[in-house]
Structure 1
Amino acid sequence: MLAQSLLAEFEDQVPVTRRFLERLPDNKLTWKPHSRSMTAGQLAYHLAFVPGGVVRGAQKDQIPPPEFQFPQPASVQEVLDAFDQSVATVREVLPGFDDAAMNATWRIVAGDQEIAAMPRVAFLRNIMLNHWYQHRGQFCVYLRLLDVPVPSSWGPSADERSALQQEPQPA
């Protein structure tokens, strides 16, 4: 099943993303690397919100163009709570899509103008997952610039071995 495949990938990435979010210091929530950038807190909150927000949008056959809002969280705990809610939403909603629903055309429509049309599975793959990964990579750079140890993800970071690497064995 298509939804189960996406859900399995999502579940693999949930603990990885949580490790990234947990590393943000509370005293750096309003820091940003450039005047046109989101603050670290806004980016973390967006990273936390994306999966649940996207899967909710996928429940409809069409939506208007999204109005992007980037709230400024007051604490890392607020980000983690938003993340937990987002994860719960994905776990609740995604399994409800059968293959017919996943292959059905999903649209963004502004009035009479179609902005985008694609199979629902493509929307979920591109925005719920790929967009999420892109922002996690962006957040990784924020952590590095803040001199916060960067967690491993698919492979090691300069600060952490990946799960695939074994510790050296004593001779």
Structure 2
Amino acid sequence: MLAQYLLAEFEAQVPVTRRFLERLPENSLTWKPHPRSLTAGQLAYHLAFVPEGVVRGAQKNEIPPPDFQFPQPVSVQQVLDTLDQSVATVREVLPGFDDAAMNAIWRIVDGDRELVAMPRIAFLRNIMLNHWYQHRGQFCVYLRLLDVAVPSSWGPSADESSALQPEPQPA
């Protein structure tokens, strides 16, 4: 049941994330707002890959510290294909966790040193979803700096209304 709640939230957020990624101009894949920042393409790829990477990690009871590599995609289509694969993986794997598995302690270990220990559901909630939202917000800033219309997410953006604030109807 717990996995179904996370899956329902994930499913509601997939089209929102896809709208953000689709807005990335093809000619801006290597643009970055600061020398220490990821490129727009690297951040987009990370957004696309995070759900799959996290749910695959959650299939194990423990993993080593993540290797934070951010590939540079060659096209927006590569990013969207990665998102599609990521979504398919979450849809396949997440429902396989029963409530006992969701409540079991999941770990990051470095040799014999435990770095992180938390219930699997907390890992999935914090990293697959909250981390995803945080990077989507970061990507929103990239779009704004690129002078690209920012899609609405939970509420309206400066460029689009949302279901919570429909377009005004003519009188």
> Who is 2:140 aligned against?
140
Work out the CA distance in 2 between the residues paired with 1:147 and 1:18: 18
> Who is 1:2 aligned against?
2
Map 1:1-150; keep pairs closer than 5 Å.
Answer: 1-150=1-150
Instruction: Identify unmatched segments of 5+ residues in structure 2.
Output: none
Deviations 1:91-149 (A, max 9, x none): 00000000000000000001100000000000000000000000000000000000000
Work out the CA distance in 2 between the residues paired with 1:135 and 1:167: 28
Q: Aligned with 1:10: secondary structure?
A: helix
| C-alpha RMSD of the superposition | 0.5
Work out the CA distance in 2 between the residues paired with 1:70 and 1:12: 26
Identical positions, percent:
87
Paired residue type of 2:71: P
Instruction: Identify unmatched segments of 5+ residues in structure 1.
Output: none
1:167, distance to aligned residue in structure 2 (A): 2.2
Provide the TM-score with structure 1 as the length reference: 0.99
Work out the CA distance in 2 between the residues paired with 1:167 and 1:153: 15
Work out the CA distance in 1 between the residues paired with 2:107 and 2:60: 9
Provide the TM-score with structure 2 as the length reference: 0.99
Paired residue total: 171
Out of 72-81 and 158-167, give the one that drifted further. Answer: 158-167
Work out the CA distance in 1 between the residues paired with 2:87 and 2:38: 23
